[in-house]
Each structure stands twice: as structure tokens, then as C-alpha cells.
Amino acid sequence: MSPLSLVRTVVASTALAVATAASAVGQADAPSLGAVRGTVYDSTAHAPLADAAVFLWNTPYRAVTDGDGGFLIADVPPGDYTLLFFHTRLGEMGISPGPRQVRIAARDTADVELATPSTFTMMVTPCLLEEPGPGTGAIAGWVGDGESGMGLPRAQVMFSWTPEGATQPTRLRVDTDAGGWYHTCRAPSDIAITATATFLDRQGLRREVTVSEGGAVEVGFLLWELDPAKVSGHVLDATSGAGVADAEVWLRSTAFRAVTGSHGEFRFGEVPPGTYMMFARHLQYGTKQDTLIVTSGRTMTVDMHVDTRAIEIAPITVTVESVPTTRRAMGGLTITREDIDKVRGRVRDAADILQAQHVPGIIVRRRADSSLCVGYTSGQVRMLNNESGGCVSMTIFINDVRATNTDLALQMPPESIDRIVVFKPWEAGNLFGAGSGNGVLVIYTHNR
């Protein structure tokens, strides 16, 4: 028996029950009855659902949808009802649309819109029914060909994210099914996830999404023949417009990172098209982020403007070459907060503070290229008559963490500094080990 015949048989078999119910109502006045009408939509096929049986639960009132998915159930006594529909297609897919509550009033028609669950809902339902792991959510979507609009089977969907404290991203690959759909129940929650899709020589625009714990998001792709783009730009002071040197610039959840040059310039090559979060970080300016949309095959120029603000020392990613200074028997010469306050009105940064203290043996050099150097004259004879401008820099620590950029450390404003400790070369060699033969400078900040 065909699906249509099955539905019509079910409806026909209730004809007698409908007639009996009408008789049971007695000779009720027809104007006191109501009706319910509406349409049924197939969300998986994106079209009206014809030949669906629509009925009021636990009653003989029912109808069959027409070619436009429409139905009408008339002559219904007033009251609250549960409205359901069924189609053999739903049985084949093993899904249920669930009930719909409807109130029918006398001499009135209630309008309702019914629909099958979407394919996305069906894809993530197994994830939501299972016991989701802590800190995970579901991602599902459809991958299609941009030219034909057809779903692509066995397309590769790649997710990547960088857990807190990690230096390398974690990756997860999922392949699409025969219809181009995919899903994963193991996406990490509350973290930026990069999503990409590829099929042979085609790729989709890169996406960035976040899913809540136990939640689900839909991420779909249309794949095209895309070419990478070249991205360059500048990090600029928002007030003066001057380039900001030695700022770190990166695209989140990617390997694209750069440090700006002397004029604030940076460059990324071969960036896949898509949407990125671009960050710029500088010790004096803090961290700024913005959205970057990269288009296929373009050469793009982007400028980021940063504002001067009070420095908030954030964790600095460094390579630790020795144990923290707090674990050592401390020595050295300490420049206290009181010492700094005495000269605060005439100094602009840490280098000026050192110069104003007139510490024996300490030299401070501001080179022609605006770079800074703090050295110890008796520690290194080679300070004189060399290419470093008469100064070989001391090793600098900020809050017990070695600074990777001595210029930025020495440019720290006095209001951010709590104290400075200076270790002579012979002290530094014993306390800090190899690499500290020119002396060590330790800068401690407020609220460290």
C-alpha cells in the first residue's frame, strides 16, 4: 500500500467516528462551533508537506494536507486541544515534530503553522539526548557546492581552537555524509573556534564561532575556488598617527603573527579568505582587537589605531631560563617607590629613573634609532668602542619574568613601577646563571 493510500485509509476509517461524534454533540448550534486551519512545512526539503495527516489528539477531528500543505478541520467544539501531524516521511527519518497546543473558540477559526524538525535539529538531537561531556557543545551544518548548490559528500570540515595557556591549537576533523551534512558533539564550549571546510580544490570562507556548554550552533559552508590574500598594514598611535614599533599583531586561532617594524608596519602572506579577529598588543598601549574580513585573491591594507593608556601588566609569554627571582637569596641595589616619587616629576620612563639615581657603574644610552640600553660599565669592557653605541644591555626581568623586548620594558612609565632592583654582573652571574654576565635589572610593578 502506498504512503498516500495509507494516510487516506486512516482518514476514511475515522469517517464513522466523526459522524458519531457529530451526533453526540446533538443538535448543537453550528454557529457555536469553531475550526482550526493552517499549513504544514517540510523543513528538510524546504517545501510544503502534502498528504500529511493532521489531527486533534484523542478526538475524531482530523484532515489531510493538500498540495500546498494546507488543511482545515471544521465544526470543532470550543476548547483546548493538542494538535499533531504525521507523514510517512517522518517515520522513515525516525523523527517526531511534537505536539502543538491550540485553543478553539466558538464561531472562530484558529490559525496555526506546523513544520517538521530541520535537518540541523535532527543532526544535533543525538548530542543533546546523550550525556554531553563537561565543557562541550554541538556544532552541525551543511556543506554545498557554491556553483551547483548541491550537497558535497565526504567534504572535510576542520575545527581548531587554542586552549587557555596553550601555544599550539587543537584540531578536530569531521567529514560530511552523503547529503553534505556533518555534526560533532565534542566541540569545546565558551572558546573561540575556527571552522573551515574543503573539498578537492574548493574551500569555504573561514568562520569563527562559539558554542555554550550543552548548546548547539549551526555552521554551514558554500565551497568555491578561492585564492589566498596578502594582508599588510600598520599599527598607529590614535593621537599622533605615528607608527608603533615592536607591537605584536596576530590573527586569533591561526599561525599568522608578526611584530611591527620601526614605522609600525606588519605583513601576513597567503591568508585564506574568511573572517578573522585581529589583535595588536603593545606594552604601552595595551591590547586592541578588531574584525578583519579577508576576500579571495586580494592584496589588502589595514591600519589599527591604538590609544595610550595606563599600563596593565598582563602575563607575558617568555622562555624561562632560570628559576624565579623570588626563590633566590635576593641581593642587589633596590630603587624604592619613595626614590621614584622624588624624581617622578622629571622622568618619563624606567630608563630615566635609573639615570636620575646616579647608580655607580650604570650607564643609560638612548641611541640614534630611539632604542634604549641600560648597561654596567665595569661589567663589560666591550661596552666601549663597539657597534652597540657604547652599551651592552643588561638582562631585564618584569615581575620575575624575563622581558623579551628590553626597549618596551625600559619605556615603562614611573606610575606603573613599584621598585627596581639592580644586580651587578658578579651578583647576577651567581643568582641568575648563564646569560646574565652584563648584569640584571628587575622591575616590579604595582598589583603584581
Read off the pLDDT of residues 246-295 as tens digits, 9 standing for 90 and up.
999 988 878 888 999 999 999 998 888 888 888 999 988 888 888 888 88
295 occurs within a structural domain: yes
Instruction: Report CA torsion sign: 133, 136, 138, 139.
Output: negative
132 occurs within a structural domain: yes
30: left (phi over 0), alpha (psi -120 to 50) or beta: alpha
Residues 103 and 123 placed together within one structural domain of the fold: no
Query: Using 50, 70 and 90 to split pLDDT, how confident is the model at 71?
Result: very high
Last residue in a domain, options 306, 336, 359: 306
- For 130-164, how does the pLDDT look when each residue is reduced to its tens digit (9 = 90+)? 766 788 999 999 999 887 888 899 999 999 998 88
Structure confidence at residue 79 (pLDDT): 94
Asked whether the beta carbons of 202 and 146 are under 8 A apart, the reply is yes
Structure confidence at residue 63 (pLDDT): 95
Q: What is the mean pLDDT of residues 160-171?
A: 85
Residues 337 and 427 placed together within one structural domain of the fold: yes
Q: What is the mean pLDDT of residues 37-51?
A: 88
Structure confidence at residue 34 (pLDDT): 94
264: left (phi over 0), alpha (psi -120 to 50) or beta: left
Residue 241 pLDDT exceeds 60: yes
Query: Using 50, 70 and 90 to split pLDDT, how confident is the model at 384?
Result: very low
Residues 96 and 76 placed together within one structural domain of the fold: yes
CA gap 61, 41 in Å, rounded: 20
293 occurs within a structural domain: yes
Mean pLDDT of the chain: 79
- Buried b / exposed e across 370-399, counting CB within 10 Å, b at 16+? ebbbbbbbebbeebeeeebeebbbbbbbbb
Structure confidence at residue 370 (pLDDT): 66
Residues 379 and 410 placed together within one structural domain of the fold: yes
Amino acid at 205: L
For residues 193 and 118, the model is more confident at: 193
Cα 101 to chain centroid distance, Å, stands at: 38
The total of other beta-carbon atoms located within 10 Å of residue 4's CB is: 12
The CA–CA distances, whole Å, from 280 to 57, 84, 304, 318 equal 61, 55, 8, 18
315 occurs within a structural domain: no
Structure confidence at residue 381 (pLDDT): 39
The total of other beta-carbon atoms located within 10 Å of residue 151's CB is: 16
- For 182-222, how does the pLDDT look when each residue is reduced to its tens digit (9 = 90+)? 999 989 998 989 999 999 888 888 888 899 888 888 889 98
Residues 6+ apart with CB under 8 A from 91: none
Residues 441 and 334 placed together within one structural domain of the fold: yes
Structure confidence at residue 387 (pLDDT): 41
Residues 350 and 291 placed together within one structural domain of the fold: no
Residue 55 pLDDT exceeds 90: yes
334 occurs within a structural domain: yes
For residues 391 and 249, the model is more confident at: 249
Structure confidence at residue 93 (pLDDT): 66
Domain holding 420, by residue range, is 325-445
Report the CATH number that the domain containing residue 432 is assigned in CATH.
2.170.130.10
Grid cell, residue 258, equals 608578526
Residues 331 and 438 placed together within one structural domain of the fold: yes
Angle, CA 45 vertex, CA 42 and CA 47 arms, to 5°? 60
Asked whether the beta carbons of 162 and 253 are under 8 A apart, the reply is yes
- For 392-438, how does the pLDDT look when each residue is reduced to its tens digit (9 = 90+)? 788 888 877 777 777 778 888 888 888 998 887 766 765 665 556 67
Asked whether the beta carbons of 374 and 364 are under 8 A apart, the reply is yes
Structure confidence at residue 26 (pLDDT): 45
The CA–CA distances, whole Å, from 301 to 144, 207, 297 equal 31, 21, 13
Cα 332 to chain centroid distance, Å, stands at: 45
Residues 140 and 47 placed together within one structural domain of the fold: no
Task: Please give the tally of structural domains in the chain.
Answer: 4
Residue with cell 558535497: 152
* pTM score: 0.48
Residues 34 and 111 placed together within one structural domain of the fold: yes
Residue with cell 466523526: 18
21 occurs within a structural domain: yes
Residues 350 and 434 placed together within one structural domain of the fold: yes
Q: What ranges make up the beta strands (E) of 228-317?
A: 229-237, 248-251, 257-259, 265-271, 274-282, 286-294, 299-306
Residues 42 and 129 placed together within one structural domain of the fold: no
Report the CATH number that the domain containing residue 20 is assigned in CATH.
2.60.40.1120
Structure confidence at residue 28 (pLDDT): 46
Query: Using 50, 70 and 90 to split pLDDT, how confident is the model at 40?
Result: very high
Rg (CA), the chain: 35
Residues 124 and 187 placed together within one structural domain of the fold: yes
CA gap 70, 72 in Å, rounded: 7
Report the CATH number that the domain containing residue 123 is assigned in CATH.
2.60.40.10
Last residue in a domain, options 306, 340, 361: 306
Residue 33 pLDDT exceeds 90: yes
Give me the helix-helix angle, 3-13 and 15-24, nearest 10°: 30
Percent of the chain having pLDDT more than 90?
27
429 occurs within a structural domain: yes
Residue 236 pLDDT exceeds 70: yes
106 occurs within a structural domain: yes
Residue 54 pLDDT exceeds 80: yes
Structure confidence at residue 253 (pLDDT): 77
- Buried b / exposed e across 310-336, counting CB within 10 Å, b at 16+? ebebeebeeeeebeebeeeeeebeebe
Last residue in a domain, options 192, 223, 254: 223
Asked whether the beta carbons of 40 and 20 are under 8 A apart, the reply is no
